[in-house]
Structure 1
Amino acid sequence: MSAIVPDEVTAGLVAFLDHQALLSDNRIRSTTPQTKPRPGPFVCFRVDNGESWWAPVTTQPATAKKRKRLLLKSEWRTGTHPQWLNVDQYLNDGANIYVGPTDAFCAASGQEISNRNTRSRLTIDGVNSVNAEVERQQARRIQQV
């Protein structure tokens, strides 16, 4: 296991984050609570001035009750983790984002199984699509960041 470090956090990085660590760090702001919070993969879609913006990723497509989820296309995904590369991945909800100091997200990544050379990532096209979906869902946020 190799936690992420601040200098490798760029838009497109995917890391396994401890959701409870995110919720308990008062430096991290979230916009819309997840209905089923769980540790899991998050994608960084923006970095600016020591802060980063992250959104949870899931392998579950939307159900009939849920709004459509953004498919993270296979051609957008790089890295070495078999599930990340071979199983459909979706942005959980563009209204649900986490923003805070990059080091706080690094601290929440202690269960990450990849290392600096094998990290999962989204290409720039994938990052642009995530940013567009986050913008589309802005009105649904309980809190703005």
Structure 2
Amino acid sequence: MPLLENEIKPGTVAFLDPAALYENAAVNRSDDKHVFRPGPFLCVAEHEGTSTWLNITSQRDRRGLRLELRSQWRLEGSHLWRKSPQFINDARKPFIGPNEAFVAASHKERDYHPNLRPQISVAGVEAAILEIERYRSKSGDPPAGGV
């Protein structure tokens, strides 16, 4: 079942099609050449109809730089989701835009029945936000309001 706008809050995980986000001029994102594949994304912030999302991957990177989403942070969702390794793909590359853009990008999402939509705990969201801020401080970019 596609993402509903009232489900968008920090900790929500949704299967998004990044092509829809890349094509949407209202969505701010990194301008580099890396293109994310369709898959799970984590909402780390939402304020007044605008949200911030990070791509999740099950692949550990060779240098060990990706933030692991610890198993105790992973709530709801399937047994496989809760037990398999999950990482923030690249905290330097959040997608920030209107909530309706993320709802539209969830058009390929399937129903989670009998499981509930995957979620990340407050501690996990806080760790992801710290990771974003850590990279921003290294690059000299000012912290973004609300992430």
TM-score interval (norm. to shorter):
0.7 to 0.9
Gaps of 5+ in 2: none
* C-alpha distance 140-96 of structure 1, shift in aligned 2 (>3 A): farther
Please tell me whether the aligned partners of residues 77 and 112 of structure 2 are also in contact (alpha carbons under 8 angstroms): no
1:103 and 2:100 correspond? yes
Q: CA RMSD in A?
A: 2.2
TM-score of the two chains, using structure 2 as the length reference:
0.87
Cα distance, 1:32 vs structure 2: 5.1
- CA drift of 1:37 comes to 2.1
Q: 1:78-137 CA deviation, whole Å, 9 max, x = no partner? A: 112233212100001110100000011001001222349710000000010011001111
Question: Which residue in 2 is equivalent to 1:45?
Answer: 44
1:1-145 equivalent positions in 2, closer than 5 A: 2-31=1-30, 33=32, 35-64=34-63, 68-115=65-112, 118-138=116-136, 139-140=138-139
Q: 1 or 2 for the larger relative contact order (CA 8 Å, sep ≥6)?
A: 1
SS of corresponding position for 1:20: helix
Q: Give the count of matched residue pairs.
A: 141
Deviation at 1:141, TM superposition (A): 9.0
Distance 1:90 1:34, change over 3 A: farther
Determine if contact 2:91/2:135 at 8 Å carries over to the other structure: yes
Secondary structure at 2:90's aligned position in 1?
Answer: coil
Moved beyond 6 Å, runs of 4+: none
Partner Cα distance (1:107, 1:141) in 2: 33
Instruction: Go from structure 1 to structure 2 and tell me whether the alpha carbon gap of 1:95 and 1:47 turns closer, same or farther (over 3 Å shift).
Output: same
User: What amino acid is aligned across from residue 94 of structure 1 in structure 2?
Assistant: A
Q: Supply the distance in 2 between the matched residues of 1:33 and 1:121 (Cα, whole angstroms).
A: 28
Question: Secondary structure of 2:93's partner?
Answer: coil
Distance verdict in 2 for CA 1:90–1:50, change over 3 Å: same
Which consecutive residues of structure 1, in runs of 5 or more, have no partner in the other structure? none
Between Structure 1 and Structure 2, which shows a larger proportion of strand residues? Answer: 1
Q: TM-score scaled by structure 1? A: 0.88
> For residues 15-74 of structure 1, what are the alpha-carbon distances to aligned partners after superposition, in whole Å with 9 as ceiling and x for unaligned?
11001111011111103546342111100000011000000000111114xx61100000
